[in-house]
Homo-oligomer: A and B are copies of this chain.
Amino acid sequence: MKIISNPDISKQQELLQRPQQERANVDAAVKDIIKLVQESGDQALFAFAEKFDNAKLTTLRVTEAEIEKAKSQIATELKAAIQTAYQNIYKFHEACFTREYPVVETMPGMTCWRKSLPIQKVGLYIPGGSAPLFSTVLMLAIPAKIAGNKRVILCSPTDANGNINPAVLYTANLCGVTEIYKAGGAQAIAAMTYGTESIPAVDKIFGPGNAFVTRAKELAQQQGVAIDMPAGPSEVLVIADEDANPAFVAADLLAQAEHGPDSQVILLTDSISLAEAVNEQLSIQLSTLSRKQTAEKAIDNSKTIVLDNMSACIKWSDAYAPEHLIINTTNAEEVAEQIQVAGSIFIGSYTCESLGDYASGTNHTLPTYGYARNYSGVSVDSFVNKVTYQKATAQGIKNLGPAVEIMATAEGLDAHKNAVTLRLNTLKNE
């Protein structure tokens, strides 16, 4: 990785700039796909399955028998690992979720409260391709299960034989997904946006995908369907000091780099010797990876920035707003305390990102591409609406009504005032 030593602060924005994403070229294709799904429903999905996945489908919904078969195809040790992850993720997500908030009496006779009501219908998209992302099923379907959404729809493309990856099916079933459909890409997003004969339109769509899926989700949002968050390539920023094990740092950078050639990897350190030792380790470790070429490209686009001290590293990290932030320093917890902007933070030399990607308990669906500045990762909150309630007794409106009458008058809203005045008058007469 290119090492940049003690750059001037004026170079910060340029050095931390993310690669531009190309979007325009997929727009027309995605709009065509959406139009066909709107017009022809299931038939369009069958045609796209044949075109993109070489699969001849005649039905879309995965049957009980297919799920049972998938269960039998998963190795016992993988099942056990998935169940461990399930338990940790469930435990942490439940602990961070508030279903009913305390009732607050803001004034005598005026009580207010708030509840989390599950979104009625949610849709989860799980990509196919080289990596069967059953871990993403865990990260989306467990919060949905805790939230209690009435319908949890999952769409995923099939292989040429018309089968969704068995680990995806096994995990979806474990997490209580209510319906699984064979549909991939922008066409799956279109189906969950507009509905087809088989696939229901949903209220909110979650999940990762390629540029086509991302664009389809953006267009779904413009139609009133909510989405989990805007998407961009995955990224990690590591803050390390001279005490960090360079092999660990290199391994963490590569774990991010193998996701794709556009993955972003940044190392911030106050130690030039660590920076150099990490580069040596990168060369050694790269040679052993099956996704070597991908990781190499990503590493070529990435940089190590050497700064004066930890305090500068913290400021540069906040300016970058990383999706994943690994803090591999002495006093890592103290450094973490000072961070203001990040998606998820991994503290200390043993806490590699892979733990959080799969099984520590936190969610791996996180804001990329600088969105950590203004979006949160997925949690149970993402699957509910927070609804407020209020109830005034006669005493309540007597106490609060006069203030509301004054404010409504000041805003020139007569009828707002009148709704209070009529009630107060009735109470005077009683």
Contact = CB atoms under 8 A, between A and B. Distances in A.
Interface of A: 77-78, 80-82, 84-85, 87-88, 91-92, 95-96, 98, 101-102, 104, 106-107, 110, 112, 114, 117-120, 130-135, 167, 203-204, 218, 222, 224-226, 230, 245, 247-248, 251-252, 254-255, 257-258, 285, 288-291, 295, 332-333, 336, 339-363, 367, 369-377, 379, 381, 384-394, 396-397, 400-404, 406-408, 410-420, 422-423, 426
A122 to B, nearest CB: 9
A350 B415 contact: no
A167 to B, nearest CB: 6
Contacts of A80: 403
A255 B350 contact: no
29 contacts: A78-B410, A84-B400, A88-B107, A91-B106, A96-B101, A96-B114, A96-B386, A112-B361, A117-B340, A117-B341, A118-B340, A132-B411, A224-B371, A224-B374, A226-B375, A255-B419, A289-B414, A291-B414, A295-B415, A346-B390, A346-B391, A350-B392, A352-B419, A352-B423, A353-B419, A355-B397, A357-B416, A358-B407, A359-B400
Contacts of A367: 385
Contacts of A374: 119, 203-204, 224-226, 385
A359 B84 contact: no
A392 B167 CA distance: 27
A419 to B, nearest CB: 4
A410 B117 contact: no
Given A85-B403, A353-B419, A336 B389 contact: yes
Given A81-B407, A339-B387, 7 more contacts: A95-B104, A104-B361, A132-B410, A203-B374, A224-B369, A252-B419, A332-B391
